[in-house]
Amino acid sequence: MTAMDAVSLGIIGEGREKIPATKSSIDELERLEFLDDLGRVTTSTVCVEELQVGVQAIQLPCYHHYHQDCIVK
């Protein structure tokens, strides 16, 4: 099945009901202090703001880092 097939069948895309993560799954996300990422600029793709060194961040299972408020609202 292609992505377009999935959209046309309503499996993904607009109009699909969004199911929020459970509290327990959010609580299990790794929280860490963001350290220098080898001099590379790292941004939260949710708010598109740079993660500053020393800020509290959440690491998702895909290893991307986000501001805590971008993930937990």
Q: How high is the pLDDT of residue 31?
A: 92
Q: What architecture (CATH level 2) is domain 20-71?
A: 2-Layer Sandwich (3.30)
Q: How high is the pLDDT of residue 8?
A: 53
Domain range list for the chain: 20-71
Q: How high is the pLDDT of residue 14?
A: 63
71 in Cβ contact with 29 (< 8 Å): yes
Q: What angle do CA 62, 66, 68 make, to 5 degrees?
A: 120
65 closest CA partner among 32, 27, 39, 25: 32
What is the C-alpha separation between 36 and 50, in angstroms, rounded? 12
End-to-end CA distance of the chain: 33
Tens-of-pLDDT digits for all 73 residues of the chain?
A: 565 555 555 555 566 677 788 889 989 999 988 887 676 777 888 888 888 888 888 888 888 888 888 888 7
